[in-house]
Structure 1
Amino acid sequence: MTASEREPDRADSAWYVYGIVPADVETAAGVRGVDGREVRVVRHGDVAALVSEIDPKVRLGRPDDLLAHERLLDDAAVDAPVLPLRFGAVMTTEQAVVDDLLAPNHQGFADALANLEGRVEYVVKGRFDERAVLAEVVRENAEAARLRERIRDRPEAESHQDRVRLGELVYQEIEARRQAATERLVQDLSPYCVASAVRDPTHHLDAVHAAFLVEDARRPEFEEAVATAVRKWEGRAELRLLGPLAPWDFVVTPG
């Protein structure tokens, strides 16, 4: 977008910025972002920002806004490289998007976009089957088995200390199994990706939560490798594949 194409900025508006894309990206008609606002492209040289004009008096942060932010960038990443910005990036004017974001970071953005060309992110998330993992812990940990027998049919108050200790053991054992499972999965999938990043667990029964940067040409191989892992883990943990997504775990952009 050139200076002559821009509309004058108004005091009652602000500009929400989703992420950085190549300047030749076009948005489809009717694409909406946070607060249901139309998404536009602001260009500078060979990079651009995906933006929406918003009412600065409207407070953002609703779950729907966060989902709109993520969905817009994930959809864009299917067709072009994307550098996602964190949720909540707002600039005062459209010209500020150029002057304070695109212009001073132009070369860094261009290099990062070139590095991500033809690559997308996938996330593999798995959760242990609670009964299966507890049975495994009791079977393989003699102290856990002994404690479980000690608390069987005893009142909770009377067996409180044993129950606390058993809970600690189970937590530690699940942590160890999560680490081992994550290392194994990353190793199994590493031939099909260019990078991986382990995410923090979001649930105490999480078996794995990891992101993978995959080249477009290898997406079918990667997806088949994940399908093989799903079959291998059946009965012990349930795996889910999310993607393709914007490369949330593999870029750092100004907030």
Structure 2
Amino acid sequence: MTQLSRRERARRWHDRFLVEERHLEPAARRRFYATAATMIAVGLVLFVALLVGVVTGSGLASFDAPVEDWVDDRRTPDTTAFMAVLAFVFGPVALPVIVLAVVVVWGLTAKHLWRPLLLAAGMLTGVALALIIAPIVQHPRPPVAEMLLGPDHTFSFPSGHVLGAADFFLLLAFLLASRRSRTWFTVLAVTVAIVMVVAQAAGRIYLGYHYVSDTAASVALSLVIVGAVIAIDTHRTVRAPGEPLESRTITGDA
């Protein structure tokens, strides 16, 4: 009886945290893997190119100062207020609270915790990468005189604000759209994610805290993270029609 009870507890834990399996045609599974591989490859190539450009002052990094000057000349009070709100919402204080709230509410209301856990893991990965890369590259921010919300003497490459926003919206778009299998919903989710990421990137440049190369590098890193999540999720959850679900196998053993 004790052994059966332990197996039953293990099965319940497994079903709650790790299952969320679904049946898809092999072609659909291949498309997910192809999308993941493309995002990872594009993200890595773009990030390396940007890193080399920042270190050598070439490539896209050569546009950093001209873009900064162009944006500075077009500042207005209303735009500054809007960008300041974006900076707060996706900053190191508010964004973790928002992510935690989404993960907790989603976890309490969902049948399985797999997707909320993936979202949390992807966000934490982005934070870790930003904290590791910035002090290694040591790319200085724009001049303090250009910063509209007070001085920031930390390093600039990559932008933690943009990386956090990109991870949050792109991961959320995938984790929601991949289960609905509705073209209109996928287009809407991806469009909203792109608009929010672009707005946040523009905001960091506008407020004088990052160069265009910093924000582009953050998007590149986010593509790698999201691509990895897509691959992991596909491997873990997608089963071919007729293939038994792993949760049923464990239930049978119990």
Q: Specify which structure has the bigger relative contact order, considering alpha-carbon pairs within 8 angstroms and separated by 6 or more residues.
A: 2
TM-score class, shorter: under 0.3
Of Structure 1 and Structure 2, the greater strand share is in 1
Of Structure 1 and Structure 2, the greater helix share is in 2
Structure with larger Rg = 1
